[in-house]
Structure 1
């Protein structure tokens, strides 16, 4: 295995590692955030840790396709010119910069970036679904396991968009916790939101594991 192929393999392997590892940190921080046994200050600190840990999965999701695309080309699974690989990487890094801008800016200053990020996710979702279905149908020349991985990535993006909707009520509740301290209503709102998102997050974990298995086994 040459050095470039080894590097691409390593980068693609780091995607599920940081995705699942970051999600575990997010999940555990969420347990502290929703636990009224902790002080409001401790719970708000847990929220800060949660948001920082969440950048691992966000980064991994964005880099999943560029690393996978480059690796598939390097291994000969997919026929594409070098400029296409470079273009995919540039697009991925631009999207990653937008995601990090949202994280670092916070609040209203991040709203324009959020709109662009949402649009990118919707376009990526449609493109991945189309390519995955075309690959399984034989209309696109790529191995079936790659088509399956594209569909799984699309499912991960779709669940991520769903989680954003599920999290919407969390931030007013956190604002109330910060301003007025813990109340029964605030505690119930935070616990309810995190309970709903937990199911979606566990579905994403299953998707990441299935995509990893498909990439390792290359069965079809």
Structure 2
């Protein structure tokens, strides 16, 4: 029963991550289309911001659901207490992500810096698992190590997307306050165009992770 439940949860994580990203991508094409009226582009940005929480939530839940599955299938030795700690950490991180979304805190806030630190820490932990640097890592199947590396890469891509979108906020603010103009349109398009290759990279990484989970090569 537990195995079926966590398998379903892990599958839903993949579905909502990839599906949400596709919705965000489509919304961004409306946002960058200068032929659309400013009101439609602003509405698209609002939809984008809300839909984007689906892949953000899914990404955070990937690790606790994945590690729980690995423990249930005997690929990783984790007792109930360790799993409880992992889920507690994941849920705290998830609450933090939603607080950042709902309260729109600034980039220099403590909450924003804590979220950034968690993401870098997760990249490091996943790299340790993937590279056999943790005592239990050699016992992990090769495909599971590869999935750890893929998740680390997706988190890194997310951080790079944030950097690419630094100019988007001020440009979008001008769109709201001043309306569309060639200069504003160019800034918005440039910021989103820089992020799109990274988004496509995440899609490819997710597909690779899904294939590894199904094929389970040694």
Normalised by the length of structure 2, the TM-score is: 0.96
Shift of 1:194: 1.0
CA distance in 1, matches of 2:213, 2:47: 31
1:113-133 CA-partner distances (Å, limit 9, x unpaired): 211100000111011111111
Mean Cα deviation higher: 152-161 or 73-82: 73-82
Q: Which residue, 210, 213, 216 being the options, matches 2:214?
A: 216
Contact 1:135 1:142 in 2 (8 A): no
Q: Does 1:53 align with 2:23?
A: no
Structure 2, unpaired ranges of 5+: none
Normalised by the length of structure 1, the TM-score is: 0.95
Partner of 2:95: 97
Partner of 1:10: 8
Q: Which residue, 16, 20, 30 being the options, matches 2:28?
A: 30
1:165-210 CA-partner distances (Å, limit 9, x unpaired): 0011000000110111101000011111111111000000000010
Shift of 1:139: 5.6
CA distance in 2, matches of 1:154, 1:29: 26
**RMSD of the alignment, in Å?**
1.8
The runs of 4+ residues in structure 1 deviating greater than 6 Å are: 135-138
CA distance in 2, matches of 1:162, 1:134: 26
Shift of 1:112: 2.4
Residue pairs, 1:1-220, within 5 angstroms: 3-108=1-106, 111-134=109-132, 140-220=138-218
Q: Relative to structure 1, is the Cα distance of residues 93 and 28 closer, same or farther in structure 2, using a 3 angstrom cutoff?
A: same
**What is the number of residues matched between the two proteins?**
218
Shift of 1:41: 1.2
CA distance in 2, matches of 1:20, 1:162: 18
Q: Relative to structure 1, is the Cα distance of residues 180 and 80 closer, same or farther in structure 2, using a 3 angstrom cutoff?
A: same
